[in-house]
Amino acid sequence: MTDLADLTATELLAGYASGAFSPVEAARAALDRIERTDRAVNAFVRVDAEEALAAAAESAERWRRGEPAGLVDGVPVSVKDILLQRGGPTLRGSWTVRAEGPPWDEDAPAVARLREHGAVFLGKTTTPEFGWKGVTDSPRHGVTGNPYDPRRTAGGSSGGSAAAVALGAGPLSLGTDGGGSVRIPASFSGVFALKPTYGRVPLYPASPFGTLAHIGPMTRDARDAALLMDVITGPDWRDWSQLGAAPGGFRAALGEAEGGVAGLRVAYSPSFGGRVAVDPEVAAAVERAAHRLAEAGARVEEADPGFADPVEAFHVLWFSGTARVVQPLGPKDRERLDPGLREVCEQGARYSALDYLAAVDERMALGQAMGRFHAAYDLLVTPTMPITAFEAGVEVPKGSGHRRWTGWTPFTYPFNLTQQPAASVPCGLDRAGLPIGVQVVGARHADTLVLRAAHALYASGAADISPPGGS
């Protein structure tokens, strides 16, 4: 028999509706998977088994009456420990956050929407301290390993969410992405992730990283991500910059165009014009994915967006954000920070207002350049990452020569600067059995188009990879 922990959210909901199994059975399967796998990978900082089973029992009764509360009633979910979830502390991977501190009685907007729709919360997932880097380890919660090989990183900063989904510890998870933080771990861990257009998913409290920070779904496939987007894009007055849900909805966009990429103009950029050194196995897998889109009817041609690396502008904005995070901390608390975080905070505090505004100018120019690019192309396809997962517990691969995490993730942070929707889709395994991801980028507000292309890759079989052995 199929283990319920291996089913997608869509499959679970179909089972609840038919009476084949119940939300309680699904919750128990997910909790059992956590019990069997989490010791090796460290995906969760807190598991609320009693609460999850109680919520699942309430959901089961609603399904028995034929009155589900919402779109994900009874589906096991997890939440990155950056987002508020009432009933427990949001520690953000830091010893400087007091568990006993605030009342912890408020949900972030996306969490509130999940609760309204009947989701079963399993627990909170690991993050590096304040989500500051592209791998997941922190002084407070330790190192999160890759579900395919726990000696390697799951990526970050939403590494706990990626590992949870990959291992069957709930098919849906909420992550955050300020420079690649859902896409990096999705690529390394073999799951799907979408960074929506900025403002598409309401965010509260406001991020210290400003308009770089997005909330996105981490799921088994694009169909589940569309389902989750239809839930979490509900309005919330606490975010003054919210966009609201996409017209027509996300699931409807997939339903109207099953694998519908015929005629789309797709630019395939294997290395940003030779600027990025890409591992040959990664390059080959991404090229195969681009060919699958062509076979599905897209007009694919090799073309590069042509922008210079915006990493210095990104650093000004990102490191200024880290400095703002720790600004209230005294000297003793600062000594408890991740040493790398402390270093970039010090750098961020040295930037002037003029430095910041110059970075904003560069950001606007990049956004205009990508707007011009998308006048010619509907989508851009690149590798999500130029490499596969490296050793866990370090910020950069040993011997790489990189100083900061941005050195090895050049395909992700540019699209936080431009606020464009971008997804990572699994597209193969390397010879070591580690996942490879392909990135699909759309123009601002073209979230449904990105999901359609991702769904087409799943429909073509391009995203079919072996699950991690631990599950």
The catalytic residues are: 80, 157, 181
Q: Are strands 214-219 and 299-302 parallel, antiparallel or unpaired?
A: unpaired
The burial class, CB within 10 Å (0-12 / 13-18 / 19+), for 87 is exposed
HEC-encoded secondary structure of 56-81? HHHHHHHHHHCCCCCCCCCCEEEEEC
Q: How far is CA 217 from CA 123, 227, 322, 363, in A?
A: 16, 9, 24, 25
Q: Where would I find the beta strands (DSSP E) of 65-155?
A: 76-80, 120-125, 137-138, 142-143
CA within 13 Å, CB half, 360: 10
Sign (positive/negative) of CA torsion 227, 84, 73, 71?
Answer: negative
Backbone angles phi, psi at 373, to 5 degrees: -60, -40
Buried b (16+ CB within 10 A) or exposed e, 289-308: bbebbeebebebeebbbebe
Q: Where would I find the beta strands (DSSP E) of 255-396?
A: 265-268, 299-302, 379-383
Q: Which residues contact 336 (CB under 8 A, 6 or more apart)?
A: 94, 95, 96, 139
